[in-house]
Structure 1
Amino acid sequence: MFPGMGGGRGGMNPKKMQSMMKQMGIEMSEIDNAEQVIIKTPDGDIIIDNPSISIMRAQGVDTYQINGDVKKAPKELVIPDEDIRLVCEQTGASAEDAKKALEENNGDLAEAILALSS
């Protein structure tokens, strides 16, 4: 990225690098007391425990670099009680069967009702 900043011998010392970056209008800072970072996605959460977070600010834009212990948590399907009651009313099924049908159909009411009706 910058000449003379490569790893290994002869690399630029961090203070000199920071000074050079500041001259270019780039500021670096860190978040020292973060315990966890959670990134929410449609498929689930990406959880980073014990994160080390660096922030680079250049031309009014903040860029975050996060390192830590990464784990993924799949999205948890939450079935509302109202949906279970509706499926029970429409099909005559028990609450347990209605909930199971909703879970098997990713919470889709129509599909759960069709599954229990056939």
Structure 2
Amino acid sequence: MLPGNINPKQMKAMMKKMGMQIDPIENVEKIVITTPEGTYTFDEAEVVGMTMQGVTTYQVTGTPRFDAATPAIPEEDVAMVQEQTGASEQASRDALAATRGDIAEAILRLASHD
């Protein structure tokens, strides 16, 4: 039973009268949502499309995993960190990756390891 003691059959009839249509999307294998911070990946998810007044909204149900984006690190930044710290190219690149491209923080990080 749904809230208000409405059975599912009655609910479907009411939704149809209001022009609302709900359609599950079958056999969903993966959903990926990409943001500047990283990606949310749903390996197993249930997806339902709900159309009302000509607009379709999708509801995703599942547990995502988050993978942080790795920022692109320009060669000039690596060279600057190397020049300021005397660190190797790989150490400079790793420090920039760890600080998400923040040059000053990468320099401070490498300088504190002396």
Unpaired runs of at least 5, structure 1: 6-10
Match of 1:37 among 17, 24, 31: 31
- Show the counterpart of 1:24: 18
Tell me the distance in 1 between the aligned counterparts of 2:37 and 2:58. 22
Question: Where does structure 1 differ by over 6 angstroms across 4 or more consecutive aligned residues?
Answer: none
Report matched runs for 1:1-118 at 5 Å: 3-5=4-6, 11-13=7-9, 16-41=10-35, 43-68=37-62, 70-80=63-73, 82=75, 83-116=77-110
| Alpha-carbon offset, residue 81 of structure 1 | 5.4
| Count, aligned residues | 110
Shift of 1:88: 2.5
* Structure 2 spans left out of the alignment, 5+ residues: none
State the Cα RMSD in Å.
2.9
Structure 2 length-normalised TM: 0.68
> Does the 8 Å CA contact 2:24/2:47 hold for their aligned counterparts?
yes
Q: Distance in 2 between matches of 1:52 and 1:115?
A: 44
On the 8 A contact 2:73/2:93 being kept in 1, the answer is: no
- Give the C-alpha shift of residue 95 in structure 1: 0.8
Mapped to 2, the partners of 1:84 and 1:114 lie a distance apart of 14
Tell me by how many angstroms 1:105 deviates: 2.4
Query: Is the contact between residue 79 and residue 99 of structure 1 (CA under 8 Å) also seen in structure 2?
Result: no
The TM-score normalised by the length of structure 1 is 0.66
- 2:36–2:69 Cα contact (<8 Å) kept: no
The alpha-carbon distance between structure 1 residues 76 and 12, as it changes in their structure 2 partners (threshold 3 A), is closer
The offset of 1:24, in angstroms, is 0.6
